[in-house]
Every structure is written in structure tokens, then in C-alpha cells.
């Protein structure tokens, strides 16, 4: 009690509060001074004193704690500021990172949504059936193609498992074993059941679905209907078998045709050869080798200039080039020298084409017509003699008709006229008969004169070809009422053979016009072109197909051609249905 009283009062700080430092110092001083007294004299203190001392001790203890707390608070504040600054920077960076992550997540969500829509569109519009099942085989996804193939909609598969759609359990087990072993099955052909029980072959590809822990949660199945492919394979197999049979048959035919062609080439009396565009021989038959005394191996690669004289080779080469240029078959007469003299060949030449349709070579088939030409010459001379005899006979008949029969008919006409005059007044009936006789005699005289002119017009011998054609054109127009126009230019006197041939050709042509053409106009033209006399007859009639004339119906045309050939010329006829007819004849003026 005395120790507490003797202690100095505690200094007061700001606003009457004890200074923490002074409180601590006073506390320690008090403790040192009173420790002995407390240990010695506490038993002598009263309860009130002890409580008071305890209160003072608590005040001093609080002062000490306040001082300690302030230091710690300052240190804690500094640490807190540093931590706050550090955490603020971290928070700003985290906020930035979070913003970026949010933006990335939004973009990822948009991309995921787009990918999901794309994937859903791909699955829904896939050409293959796509189904997704859980690990128990229950259907989760079923696209439109699957519904089309199997006939089930997704809601109709609620009570079914994927295994129920397979036809053969053994094949299903084999496929599932492969799936468990490899976790993947590709292009496994298996039979499956459609709605209604129909069985279809399918091409199945299956892959397992796993979660993040690698546990199987289902599978994806892609199926393709093989029905059409199977039908195509069967059709292809049938076509392949048919092609094989056709190929074998074709090979047999090729071998047969090869034997036939080889036999033809070997035994034909004609010369057969093939030349390329450069004129080199690539094939000759045995007849060629026999005639020219050279083997086929020695001929191949050579040209006509290597085998024949230059003049003959030039003609052969020119004919080949003309065939290639025109791209159509041609027929020419070719002369080739042989040991027994010059032989004439009738050559039929035609181009051979490649895959692109381009002519690559010329094939020729030449037939020796030397003897035939000799026979033709004899026949031509014989025919010319016959025609000349015919013309002489016609001239003689025409003269006899004109001179003898004409004179008799003239006498009969005079006697009939005398009778008509004498009986006119005395016997009317006899007079009428006499008048009829006069008309008959007049008509007979006209007919005889016309026959004589057709047999051999005297104007042709007396005045020449031009006058004869003018007279005949006028007479034709008079008797047929078909307009006939004759034109001529630069035609001098011609040989009697040519004049006769030209007159007879015009006579036959106009006769054909009157009989068959049903024309209203015909034009006859005679012109001189160099050493040729060109004669044309053109009508506006119904025309005809030149190639369709039967052999018996074309004797008139054949006669015109024969007369033109005998005179050393040629005759062409062009006609078409509804387009009239044109006959053109070229005759050499000088024989």
C-alpha cells in the first residue's frame, strides 16, 4: 500500500491519455520497486489494496500493449500497403487476363455454335446414314438419310437397340469383336433389316465415343446402302462376261476375216497395195510381186520412182495425191510398162484414216484391163460401123421415102383431087369419099415427110449442124407445145461424124423431155470451147434420180453415152426431183 502511494503519478499524454512510452517506463519502475514488497508484504495487504494495485497493473499493461500494437500496426500498415499495391497490380493483370479469356470464350462459344450448326447440317444432309448410340445401344441421334434408308424415324426407335437392326448375329459378333479390338471398324459389309423386314446390304463404319477419363460412352455409326452398288457390280460382271464372250467371238471373227483377206490378197488376180502419205509402199499382195518380179519385203519402204519410169511414177503419184486431197474413192486408168509391153490397169483408190479421221495412206486395187480395152476398142469400132451403117441405111430409107413413096403419094393426091373435081357435081357421095381420100393422102404425105426427116434430115447434110438443130427445135416446139430455145455461139463447120452425133444426142434428149419431163421449157445451147464442142440441154421438168434408173429404162441415155464415146467425147447428166434435168455433152472438134 505504501509502495503504491509512494510511486509517482503516471504522466499524461495528449488529451489526458497516458503516453505509451511513459506508461511502459513507469510500469517497469514500479515493478522493480514493488517486487520485494509484494513478495514480502502482500499477505499484509487488504483486499481493496490488492484490487487497486491490480487495476493499476492493468492500466500499465494496457499502456504497454498499446505501444506494442502501434508499432506492429505501423509495420502491418506498411506491409498491407505493399501487399495492396502488389495485389492491385495482380488484380489489374488478372482483370485483363479475365477480359481476354471472356472474349476468347465468347469467340469460342460462337465458333462452337457455328461448328455445331455446321456439323448438324452435315450430319442431317449427309448422303450416308449416320446414327449415334449410347453404350447400351440406345439411339441418341438418327439423321434424315438413315430414316430414308431404314424407314424408321428417331422416335420410332425408342424401344429398339442398334443390335436389332442386324440380320446375321454371327456377322454382328464378328464386327463387334473387331470394334473392341481396334476401337474402330471401317467399311464392314453386313446385312441389315429395314422397316417392314426388307434386307439390304450395308457398308458400316463405326468408331467409339469416350469421355475425358477414356471410358466408352457410346459409338458413331456411318452406313451406306450398297444395293445400287451391288446391282451395278452384278451388271458390270454380266457386262464383263458378255464382253469376254464378245471378245472371244470377235477374235474368232478377226482370225476368220484375216484368213479370208489373206486368201483374197493371195489369190485375187488384181494388184492390191497400200502407200503412206509420202508414197512409200507399206503392203503389196502376191500378185504385185508376180507381175513386177519383186518380193514384198523388198517393196516396202520404196516409192513408185524406185520401181517405175519417172513419167509413169509421176502419174501414179499425182493420182494418189488427188485421192488424199479429195478424201473420197476415185477410179482411174493407169498404164504401166511390163516385159511384154504396156499394160492398162483400172485402179480403184481410196484413203485410209487414223483414229482422228485424218487420211494417212492410200489403198489401191488395180485390175489389168489390157485385154478388155482391146475388146472394147473392137466393140467401139464395131459399134461405130453399125451406127455408120444405120445412118447410111436411114439416109437411104429417108431418100426412098421422100423420092419414091413421096412421088406415089403425090400422084395419088393428084388423082384424088381429079376425082373430087369430076364427082363433085354428079355424085355427092363419091365426091365426099374422094375428099376424105385427099385428106388421108395429105396426112400420109406429112407423116412420110416427118419420118424421113427423123431418119435423116436432109438439112443436116445440105446446110450443116446449126441449121438442122434450128429446124428440129422449131419442129419439136410445134409438135409438143413445149417452148424450145436454141442458142449457139462460135461454132464453125464441124466433122460429119461429130455433127451426126450431136444431132442424134439432141434428138434423143428432146424425145426424153417430151415423154417424161412434163416440162414447159427446154433450152438447147451449142458452144465452142477450145477444141471441144459443148452441147447442153436443160429443162424445167420434174427431174429424176439419176442412180435410180432401171437398166431397161435407161436405153436412151445409154445410146447418147455410146454416141458421145464413139465420137471421142463424154456425156454427163445431172438431175434431182423437182429440179429439172441438165444434159451436157463434150465432143472433140478435130478427130
Residue 144 CA to residue 120 CA, distance in Å, equals 11
Closest alpha carbon to 362 in 399, 332, 337: 332
Residue 35 has pLDDT above 90, yes or no: no
- Per-residue pLDDT tens over the stretch 295-321: 656 788 888 888 888 888 888 888 888
Q: What angle do CA 148, 154, 157 make, to 5 degrees?
A: 105
Weakest mean pLDDT among 399-413, 471-485, 489-503, 514-528: 399-413
Q: What is the pLDDT of residue 113?
A: 84
Write down the pLDDT at residue 209. 87
DSSP β-bridge partners for residue 572: 584
* Cβ atoms of 131 and 163 closer than 8 Å: no
User: Rounded to an integer, what distance in angstroms lies between the CA atom of residue 46 and that of residue 541?
Assistant: 173
Say whether 142 sits in a helix, a strand or coil.
Answer: strand
- Asked if 564 contacts 380 with a C-beta cutoff of 8 angstroms, the reply is no
383 & 296 share domain: no
* HSE-up of residue 186 (Cα within 13 Å, Cβ side): 1
pLDDT for position 539: 93
Of all residues in the chain, what percent are helix, strand and coil, respectively (each to 5)?
A: 60, 20, 20
Q: Examine the pLDDT at 276 and tell me if it is beyond 60.
A: yes
Is 252 within the bounds of a domain? Answer: no
State whether 60 and 161 are in the same domain: no
pLDDT value of position 548: 65
Residue 522 has pLDDT above 50, yes or no: yes
Q: What is the 3-state secondary structure of 528-559?
A: EECCEEEEEEEECCCCCCHHHCCCHHHHHHHH
Is 258 inside any structural domain?
A: no
* Chain mean pLDDT for the chain: 78
Set of cell numbers at residue 188? 464392314
Task: Using the 3D structure, point to which of 368, 394, 426 is the last residue of a domain.
Answer: 368
Whole-angstrom Cα Rg for the chain = 66
The residue from 194, 225, 256 where one domain ends is 225
The answer on 387 and 345 residing in a single domain is: no
Task: Please indicate, yes or no, whether residues 151 and 61 belong to a single structural domain of this protein.
Answer: no
pLDDT at 551 over 60: no
Per-residue pLDDT averaged across 27-53, rounded?
Answer: 55
For 207-253, what is each residue's pLDDT tens digit? 888 888 888 888 889 988 888 888 888 888 888 888 889 888 888 88
Is residue 262 situated within a structural domain? no
Instruction: Give residues with Cβ within 8 angstroms of 570, minimum separation 6.
Output: 564, 585, 586
Residue 495: inside a domain: yes
482 and 407 part of one domain: no
Angle subtended by helix axes 370-400 and 555-566, to nearest 10: 100
d(CA 369, CA 271): 12
Is 80 exceeded by the pLDDT of residue 283? yes
What Cα–Cα distance (Å) separates residue 342 from each residue in 306, 312, 371? Answer: 18, 11, 11
**Residue 406, H or E segment:** helix 406-423
Does 425 lie in the same domain as 359?
no
115 domain-assigned: no
pLDDT of residue 320: 87
* Residue 19 pLDDT: 46
**Domain tally, the chain:** 5
The answer to whether residue 108 sits within a structural domain is no
Q: pLDDT band for position 384 (50/70/90)?
A: low
Who has greater pLDDT, 544 or 496?
544
Contacts of 155 (CB under 8 A, 6+ apart): none
Task: Check whether residue 75 and residue 16 sit in a common domain.
Answer: yes
Q: Is residue 442 part of a domain?
A: yes
Does the pLDDT of residue 153 top 60, yes or no? yes
Lowest mean pLDDT among 17-26, 91-100, 302-311: 17-26
- The mean-pLDDT minimum among 395-404, 446-455, 528-537 falls in 395-404
| Lookup: cell for 479 | 409438135
Domain final position from 368, 400, 429: 368
pLDDT at 10 over 50: no
Q: What is the CATH number of the domain that holds 274?
A: 3.30.450.20
Q: Phi then psi for 222, rounded to 5 degrees?
A: -115, 120
DSSP string, 303-316: -HHHHS-HHHHHHH
Q: 343-355 pLDDT, tens per residue?
A: 788 888 888 888 8
- Per the structure, the complete domain to which residue 332 belongs is given by 268-368
C-alpha cell at 189: 459389309
Q: Does one domain contain both 25 and 52? A: yes
Q: How confident is the model at residue 486 (pLDDT cuts 50, 70, 90)?
A: very high
What pLDDT does 395 receive?
65
Q: Mean of the pLDDT values across residues 124-143?
A: 85
Q: How confident is the model at residue 40 (pLDDT cuts 50, 70, 90)?
A: very low
DSSP string, 258-272: HHHHHHHHHH-SSEE
Residues contacting 416, CB < 8 A, separation 6+: 434, 437, 438, 441
470 and 571 share one domain: yes
Residue 63 has pLDDT above 70, yes or no: no
Q: Residues 380, 325: one domain?
A: no
Residues 302, 214 within the same domain: no
Burial class of residue 553 (count of CB atoms within 10 Å of its CB; 0-12, 13-18, 19+): exposed
d(CA 543, CA 581): 5
Percent of the chain scored above 70 by pLDDT?
80
What are the cell numbers at 294?
519383186
Closest CA to 467 of 437, 488, 483: 488
Q: Which of 326, 268, 450 is nearest to 284 (CA)?
A: 268
Nine cell digits for residue 307: 520401181
pLDDT at 521 over 90: yes
CATH value at residue 543: 3.30.565.10
pLDDT band at 459 (very low <50, low <70, confident <90, very high): low
pLDDT at 416 over 60: yes
* pLDDT at res. 6: 36
Neighbours of 412 (CB within 10 A): 16
Q: What is the pTM of this model?
A: 0.39
Residue 472 and residue 443 in one domain = no
Amino acid at each position: 500500500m505504501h509502495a503504491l502511494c509512494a510511486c509517482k503519478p503516471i504522466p499524461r499524454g495528449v488529451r489526458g491519455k497516458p503516453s505509451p512510452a511513459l506508461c511502459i517506463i513507469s510500469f517497469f519502475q514500479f515493478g522493480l520497486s514493488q517486487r520485494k514488497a509484494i513478495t514480502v508484504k502482500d499477505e499484509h495487504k487488504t483486499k481493496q489494496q490488492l484490487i487497486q494495485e491490480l487495476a493499476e497493473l492493468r492500466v500499465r499493461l494496457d499502456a504497454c500493449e498499446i505501444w506494442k500494437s502501434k508499432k506492429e500496426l505501423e509495420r502491418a500498415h506498411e506491409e498491407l500497403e505493399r501487399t495492396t499495391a502488389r495485389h492491385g497490380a495482380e488484380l489489374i493483370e488478372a482483370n485483363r487476363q479475365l477480359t481476354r479469356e471472356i472474349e476468347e470464350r465468347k469467340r469460342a462459344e460462337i465458333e462452337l455454335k457455328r461448328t455445331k450448326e455446321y456439323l448438324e447440317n452435315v450430319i442431317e444432309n449427309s448422303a450416308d446414314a449416320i446414327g449415334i448410340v449410347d453404350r447400351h445401344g440406345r439411339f441418341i441421334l438418327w439423321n434424315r438419310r438413315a430414316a430414308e434408308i431404314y424407314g424408321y424415324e428417331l422416335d420410332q426407335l425408342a424401344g429398339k437397340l442398334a443390335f436389332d437392326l442386324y440380320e446375321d448375329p454371327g456377322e454382328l459378333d464378328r464386327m463387334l469383336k473387331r470394334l473392341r479390338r481396334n476401337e474402330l471398324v471401317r467399311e464392314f459389309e453386313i446385312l441389315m433389316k429395314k422397316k417392314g423386314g426388307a434386307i439390304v446390304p450395308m457398308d458400316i463404319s463405326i468408331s467409339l465415343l469416350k469421355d475425358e477419363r477414356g471410358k466408352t460412352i457410346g459409338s458413331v455409326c456411318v452406313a451406306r446402302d450398297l444395293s445400287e452398288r451391288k446391282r451395278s457390280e452384278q451388271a458390270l460382271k454380266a457386262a464383263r462376261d458378255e464382253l469376254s464372250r464378245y471378245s472371244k467371238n470377235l477374235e474368232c471373227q478377226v482370225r476368220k476375216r484375216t484368213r479370208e483377206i489373206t486368201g483374197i490378197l493371195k489369190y485375187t488376180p488384181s494388184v492390191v497395195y497400200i502407200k503412206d502419205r509420202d508414197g512409200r509402199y507399206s503392203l503389196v499382195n502376191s500378185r504385185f510381186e508376180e507381175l513386177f518380179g519383186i518380193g514384198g519385203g523388198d517393196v516396202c519402204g520404196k516409192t513408185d520412182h524406185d520401181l517405175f519410169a519417172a513419167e509413169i511414177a509421176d502419174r501414179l503419184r499425182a493420182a494418189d495425191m488427188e485421192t488424199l486431197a479429195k478424201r473420197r474413192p476415185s477410179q482411174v486408168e493407169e498404164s504401166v510398162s511390163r516385159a511384154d509391153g504396156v499394160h492398162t490397169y483400172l485402179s480403184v483408190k481410196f484413203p485410209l484414216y487414223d483414229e482422228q479421221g485424218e487420211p494417212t495412206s492410200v489403198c489401191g486395187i488395180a485390175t489389168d484391163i489390157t485385154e478388155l480395152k482391146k475388146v472394147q476398142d473392137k466393140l467401139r469400132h464395131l459399134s461405130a460401123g453399125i451406127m455408120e451403117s444405120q445412118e447410111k441405111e436411114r439416109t437411104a430409107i429417108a431418100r426412098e421415102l421422100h423420092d419414091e413413096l413421096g412421088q406415089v403419094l403425090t400422084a395419088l393426091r393428084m388423082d384424088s383431087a381429079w376425082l373430087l373435081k369430076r364427082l363433085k357435081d354428079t355424085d355427092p357421095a363419091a365426091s365426099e369419099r374422094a375428099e376424105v381420100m385427099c385428106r388421108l393422102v395429105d396426112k400420109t404425105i406429112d407423116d412420110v415427110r416427118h419420118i424421113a426427116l427423123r431418119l435423116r434430115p436432109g438439112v443436116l447434110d445440105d446446110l450443116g449442124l446449126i441449121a438442122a438443130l434450128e429446124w428440129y427445135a422449131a419442129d419439136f416446139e410445134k409438135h409438143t407445145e413445149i417452148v424450145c430455145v436454141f442458142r449457139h455461139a462460135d461454132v464453125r463447120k464441124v466433122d460429119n461424124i461429130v455433127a451426126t452425133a450431136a444431132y442424134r444426142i439432141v434428138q434423143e434428149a428432146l424425145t426424153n423431155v417430151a415423154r417424161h419431163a412434163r416440162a414447159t421449157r427446154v433450152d438447147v445451147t451449142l458452144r465452142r470451147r477450145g477444141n471441144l464442142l459443148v452441147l447442153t440441154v436443160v429443162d424445167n421438168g420434174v427431174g429424176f434420180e439419176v442412180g435410180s434408173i432401171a437398166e431397161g429404162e435407161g436405153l436412151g441415155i445409154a445410146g447418147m453415152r455410146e454416141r458421145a464415146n464413139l465420137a471421142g467425147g463424154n456425156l454427163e447428166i445431172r438431175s434431182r426431183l423437182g429440179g429439172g434435168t441438165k444434159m451436157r455433152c463434150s465432143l472433140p472438134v478435130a478427130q
